[in-house]
Chain A
């Protein structure tokens, strides 16, 4: 006779697991990885491999020799951090800078807090911001997206509008400013909004990813594909992306209405820079975002507003990373302030 197992209820478990969720996120990032290779060539592959390998190996080493806990590299979360870090750096970044980023991301931001789920800040963003501050020049010298690929969207845009000048402006150099840099720099030197806008890629080109920038921030379509997959897989909910992008759009729109001569149309703020990558892949990180739906909306709005404040009035052209990290710090408070509605709670 077998011995019977005794345990508390429930005696069945759902199909979801940490592994499935984490590898699901990795799958959601495939379109973005493919897009980055298309635009930046083998250099993108190089950055992603170095970053993912460094993150995974570091996590394994730290668990094996310092924490002396079972290895959890197989759960895929280090791979996510590695990919996100890669998406947040230029494709021509030196290998050793990437490794330093990985050390900060995994070593400091993740493992020193106890590993998976215990980190208050998004590890990839901590790594990214560390690099941005420590290596400002290397981190802001962006190679242009590849010419070869350019011809496809150019053909599309030429067919639809005939206006390809915008792309050609940016296509001059092999490295160049990002759209956010063009905006910030242009406005700072007193150019008119319409002149600045003329230097930007058009909507179609930017949807596909036709401009300079970090590996993963340029192709809006690839990001949205990944986001839709994660929504469908119930890895993320709509609350954070929609409130993040919505509040940024509304805020930028109000500023544009107040002074169209000084503030660019709000749509550009959604198309360029890291806001799409941030809203879909970074702010939605489970461990560092609030637990309740309302909390997530508040968190998203905070991210959106802070991003815009930094973009419009801060020293940096881009504010997504800082905005998310600052809101990460508010998560414990948000969790206490915005709780789910209890059943049978008295309605006031």
Chain B
């Protein structure tokens, strides 16, 4: 049978999964750890420690008080150096908690043994509470608080859990290694999320370029009820929520709606592991797997990194910053963010750090649009990027909204595919921001 995938659009960037055979290595403890307070979607967390306080590993240091917000725990032990602005991946200085590390003292009650634990006795409410307490957010990049996502509002019903293990971004291999090395833990996590959602069916979507992971998980999944491993045809952006739901269960999430609208809930592979650790091991979200890769990197690696560790630590551990580095990207090359410094910390949403050579960093020259329609063919949302870009340039926000600019998932397929090298997504993003503001103002009124 032909492998499933989403129907509209999509592109095939070179996969470049050069770190796929590098086993996960523990990175070690940083000298200083930085925890930006706004590292999940929604309201920033509120710090509950102050300068001079002593903290332990796993200790709560900032609380998510708003409905959409999340707790932050320290990943190190030591003394709070400051609660102050610090440079993060956005390129701006943002409120952060900075901790100078002393020793490695853990909070009591955290199970650090490698033994697999399968205890499904907790109730739905207890599970959700543990997830909330542990500060778990979506680890694919968007960092949406998981407890909010898993709380099904009254009147809606979840039918199917879909685990996003697609990892369609080129270069990134963190989820791939996670599935190979911590596959069973992840499957326990999936089972727990199924309990929390009260669904009997889960589909783990994996692109077919990770055959070893598909095989390994298919074998392990026999020990779990209702979990199906689904190999998907390789096509970017399959890891986008709407595209993945379409590929896995052939349902189309309506414009502006969440997956729950079609009975689906999507969480990431890394998130499932974090749920396992939180619920079974009592360990809050304080570390994650991060791929450090790039064509000139001496030793492309997958590191288990304590949150708050500065990016230069990963670079040093992978053989140092290559001479020809021209661009450093947090995330993958399609949707990742170019960062301004190697001082920025790894946060809950950091899936990888990509070092691009100077040659790769330069964009191709921009030429006239030749109206080839390749952007229209590539857009996975069925939009017309060339037209959205024109409307954005003309500041015609009314038409821009009608043309569906808010549906744009910013996957970058249009810019990637444009023969004229036109910065379509840059332009559309500007217009989308404006339309977003207009819509918010309208809703307030």
Contacts and interface: CB of A to CB of B under 8 A. Distances in A.
A in complex with B: yes
Interface stretch (B146-154, B159-167, B184-192, B416-424): B416-424
Contacts of B14: 12
A106 B385 CA distance: 28
Interface string B232-276: 000000000010001000001111010000000000000000000
A344 interface: yes
A287 B327 contact: no
B407 A342 contact: yes
Given A12-B14, A117-B371, A4 B376 contact: no
B386 A287 contact: no
B170 interface: yes
Interface string A2-30: 10111111111110111011000000000
Interface residues of B, number: 69
A287 B364 CA distance: 21
A12 B333 contact: yes
Interface string A96-138: 0000000000000000001111100000000000000000000
B415 A13 contact: yes
Given A4-B327, A16-B419, A340-B384, A10 B338 contact: no
Contacts of A114: 368
Contacts of A335: 387
Contact of B371 (A5, A12, A14, A287): A287
Contacts, number: 164
Interface in A291-316: 291-292
B334 A9 contact: yes
B412 interface: yes
A339 interface: yes
Instruction: State the majority secondary structure of interface residues on B.
Output: loop
Contacts of B404: 342
Contact of A17 (B170, B384, B419): B419
Contacts of B412: 9-10
A67 B136 CA distance: 58
A292 B421 contact: no
B410 interface: yes
A158 interface: no
A345 interface: yes
Interface stretch (B66-74, B119-127, B211-219, B353-361): B353-361
**DSSP class of A's interface residues: helix, strand, loop or mixed?**
loop
Nearest to A11: B333
A14 B12 CA distance: 8
Between B252, B326, B371, the greatest number of chain A beta carbons within 10 A of the residue's beta carbon is seen for: B371
Given A7-B338, A291-B373, A340-B376, A16 B429 contact: no
B380 interface: yes
Contact of A12 (B13, B381, B407, B423): B13
Nearest to A75: B367
A69 to B, nearest CB: 10
Contact of B373 (A5, A13, A292, A342): A292
B170 A4 contact: no
A5 B359 CA distance: 11
Interface string B41-83: 0000000000000000000000000000000000000000000
Nearest to A342: B382
A340 B382 contact: yes
A116 B376 contact: no
Interface in A201-243: none
B427 to A, nearest CB: 10
Contacts of B327: 4-7, 11
B337 interface: yes
Nearest to B246: A343
Interface string B322-343: 0011111100011111111100
B370 A344 contact: no
B368 A341 contact: no
Contacts of A348: none
A68 interface: no
Interface in B375-427: 376, 379-384, 386-387, 404, 407, 410, 412-413, 415-421, 423, 425-426
A10 B415 contact: yes
B342 to A, nearest CB: 9
A183 B318 CA distance: 76
A291 B371 contact: yes
A9 B423 CA distance: 9
Contact of B367 (A116, A286, A289): A116
A11 B426 contact: no
A344 B334 contact: no
Contacts of A21: 370, 372, 419
Contacts of A72: 367-368
A4 B340 contact: yes
Interface in A319-345: 335, 339-345
21 contacts: A4-B326, A4-B327, A4-B341, A5-B362, A6-B338, A9-B338, A10-B425, A11-B356, A12-B170, A12-B333, A13-B416, A14-B416, A17-B421, A117-B369, A117-B370, A291-B384, A335-B387, A340-B384, A343-B8, A343-B382, A344-B257
Given A4-B325, A4-B326, A10-B412, 13 more contacts: A5-B358, A6-B327, A12-B334, A12-B416, A14-B418, A21-B372, A116-B368, A117-B370, A117-B371, A288-B371, A340-B384, A344-B255, A345-B382
* 3 smallest beta-carbon distances between A and B, as pairs: A10-B412, A342-B382, A117-B370
